Structure 1
Amino acid sequence: MDVSAPPTPLRRVCVFCGASPGLRPIYAEAARALGQAIAARGLGLVYGGGHVGLMGIVADAALAAGAPVTGVIPEALLRREVGHGALTDLRVVATMHERKAMMADLAGGFIVLPGGFGTLEEAAEILTWSQLGIHRKGLVFLDIDGFWSPLIHMFDHMGGEGFLRPHVRELAVVAETPEAALDALAGFAAPPTESWLTPAQT
């Protein structure tokens, strides 16, 4: 029986990405293109609130193209990640847990650019919440030049070893371009799943 949360309209896209630009220009180019693509579709951007690395690049591109941009950043990271001072809305929270919960609440879907541990952890939590039926929002890994391919292979391995059921494995969507990622979010339909927890229990 499907007792999951109802679908959420795609009005704002949350982007998880690194506070570093990475070593290759292709990552910055993808972040810039994603920000522009979000604006071109009349959507808003939600992200981690920083002004450095891919975070700053995607935010600046979205702002320059006319999209409303909401940043969510913990007080402790405000200086380290150089909180963006020109956003439509910058929300300062007390903890990382509050940051992730607020970003998830504000967005109708998620796109994952290249990043490190923090980016991976954010994506994994969203996928886990989907698996548990807490929300019905799509998440797409933007696989720039194969960046996420080893992780996607790991997901397949988890499924092959019996740790991810096929419908759960399908929650991790992959796209190679910003346009394809946004198309995937717009067309995402969560598989039926039993809700184990409510948002208040996370």
Structure 2
Amino acid sequence: MRICVFLSAADLDERYTRPAREFAELLGKGGHTLVWGGSDVGLMKVVADGVQESGGRLCGVSVEFLSARVRHGADEMVVARDLAERKRLMLEKADAVVVMVGGTGTLDEATEILELKKHGHTDKPVVLLNTAGFYDGLKQQFHRMESEGFLPRPLAELVFFADEPVGALAYLEESQGVR
């Protein structure tokens, strides 16, 4: 399975890097391909290292203004013109999406895939990996949107919230019929 992971390129604390590395190793050992932002820095590097070292494949989609940070040695690397094209290519290349901890760029990517899914433009499974409760506030906001009628579909049809990497991958594999 080709799994798009939206996440931070920042150098982060162990409470975020440890679960990210664990998820990456599960992907690699499962024979999956990581589709990610192509950067070789911060949490993006941690995940790419973990996937590659565990036998998985890497499909990077970078953007021109970040080309100096691109990871060399990926199985596939595409450089998009801008962030909008990057998101589009990442989603096109993936069978499923996982949102890990990140900043405004990650939040933008997460909300775009959920908006596409809400309107029926994709049926790819989406997991929000809520490492160390990072997305508790967002999860609460999504539940409020649902309860107050802002979502035309049940939240459970849009996104699966996982607290641990193993639960995230298990959900994706089950949703895609992978054993």
TM-score (normalised: structure 2): 0.93
Who is 1:77 aligned against? 66
Q: Which amino acid aligns with 1:121?
A: D
| Residue 109 (structure 1) aligned with residue 96 (structure 2) | yes
Q: Greater relative contact order: 1 or 2 (C-alpha under 8 angstroms, separation 6 or more)? A: 1
Distance 1:14 1:154 in 2: 24
Aligned match of 2:86 in 99, 113, 134?
A: 99
Task: List alignment gaps of at least 5 residues for structure 2.
Answer: none
Task: Tell me the equivalent position of 1:19.
Answer: 9
Specify the code of the residue in structure 2 equivalent to 1:188: S
Say whether the 8 Å CA contact 1:69–1:88 is kept in structure 2: yes
Following superposition, the deviation at residue 169 of structure 1 comes to 5.2
How many equivalent residue pairs?
176
Of the candidates 30, 40, 50, which is equivalent to residue 41 of structure 1?
30
Write out the 4+ residue segments of structure 1 that deviate beyond 4 Å after TM superposition: none
Q: Distance in 1 between matches of 2:59 and 2:135?
A: 26
Read off the aligned partner of 1:138 and give its amino acid letter: P
- For the 8 Å contact 1:156–1:169, the answer to whether it is kept is no
The structure whose Rg is larger is 1
More helix by share: 2
2:49 matches 1:60: yes
User: What residue number does 1:118 align with?
Assistant: 105
Amino-acid identity (%)? 35
Q: Which runs of 5+ in 1 are unaligned?
A: 1-10, 190-202
AA matched with 2:74: L
Classify the secondary structure of the residue corresponding to 1:133. coil
Q: What's the TM-score, normalizing by structure 1?
A: 0.83
State the Cα distance separating 1:101 from its structure 2 match.
Answer: 0.8
**1:31 corresponding residue in structure 2:** 20
8 A contact 2:131–2:163 mirrored in 1: yes
Name the CA distance, whole Å, in 2 between partners of 1:72 and 1:83.
9
